[in-house]
Amino acid sequence: MKISDLFVSEERTFSFEFFPPKDEISAVDFGINVGQLMRLSPSFVTVTYGAGGSTQDRTFNLVDYLQNKIGLTTVAHYTCVNATREKVERDLQYLGSVNIENLMLLRGDPPTGDTKFIPPSDGFRYASELISYVDENFDFCKAGACYIEKHPESFSIDEDIANLKIKVSSGLDFLITQLFFDNKHYFNFVKKVRKAGITCRIIPGIIPITSYKQIERFTKMSGTKIPAELLDNLESYKDNAIKTYQAGIDYTIRQCKELLAGGAPGIHFYTLNKSRAAVEIFESL
């Protein structure tokens, strides 16, 4: 099913992001966690792949498995990295052949060790170019990403929204935000993009902090800020893993409830291939 069709019947969607297991042991853990999350009947799931296009083959195998063996409506991530037009055509024909109807289209991160994105010959410089190509040549439902505190490479939030409008106009059906921890940024962002003429659904992307060491990694990953309330709690419990975990979960539950009460059209959980936190938060909602 196309997720754009799902929106007709579901005012709110709840979804999960996965990435392909890297080895046999993590594959076992992944299977257990997917089993736990399946019983929550998510609206859809997404599958990403590593920087520089690494794990793309495993991503394709996993979306095939989740869509056709497990029966989940599955979104395949696809980026501009190493993607010539010939490769895009070949890859997307394959995804269509295994019943994938939904794509998350991104520029993607540079390969490990590179500081700047360099498009391939006969490839795409921006996500908007990839989106436009897919829109003109294929029949997928197309999702895109947005940064509510601006993309790290943008000079300002206004410049970022102007670029986002180009991306949406290229053929996107809906947006999922990068992770964030302060809801006022989400609500302010939605007001600004609506004023700019962007009308599609904007689903907040949420990740629970379950250990103190995650703070630096998450903020560096997305450029997002950690609210003082959450940071103070985590710092006070940083030597107690159980209390740190619970403080992070409690905060995320409150965050999700506030988002839904404020009109957010669902929640997209960045699971990190773990089920415990996502299950606790989801069930509390």
- Among residues 17, 89, 235, 283, the one annotated as catalytic is 17
Residue 118 tokens read as: 């360099």
Range of the domain at 7: 3-284
Look at the chain and report how many structural domains it folds into. Answer: 1
Percent of the chain with pLDDT over 90: 60
Q: With a cut of 80, say whether residue 113 has pLDDT above it.
A: no
CATH number for the domain harbouring residue 81? 3.20.20.220
pTM for the predicted model, two decimal places: 0.93
Report the pLDDT value the prediction gives residue 237, as an integer from 0 to 100.
Answer: 86
8 A C-beta contact, residue 112 and residue 52? yes
Residue ranges with strand state E in the chain: 13-18, 44-47, 74-79, 102-106, 141-146, 174-177, 201-203, 205-206, 266-270
Alpha carbon 239 to its chain centroid, in Å, reads: 30
Q: How many CB atoms lie within 10 A of CB 89?
A: 14
Kindly report, residue by residue over 184-217, the tens digit of the pLDDT.
Answer: 999 999 999 999 999 999 999 999 888 888 877 7
Integer Cα distance of 42 and 223 in angstroms? 28
Helix (H) or strand (E) holding 116: none
Residue 158 tokens read as: 């206004």
Kindly report, residue by residue over 130-186, the tens digit of the pLDDT.
Answer: 999 999 999 999 999 999 987 777 788 899 999 999 999 999 999 999 999 999 999
17 among known catalytic residues: yes
Report the pLDDT value the prediction gives residue 204, as an integer from 0 to 100.
Answer: 98
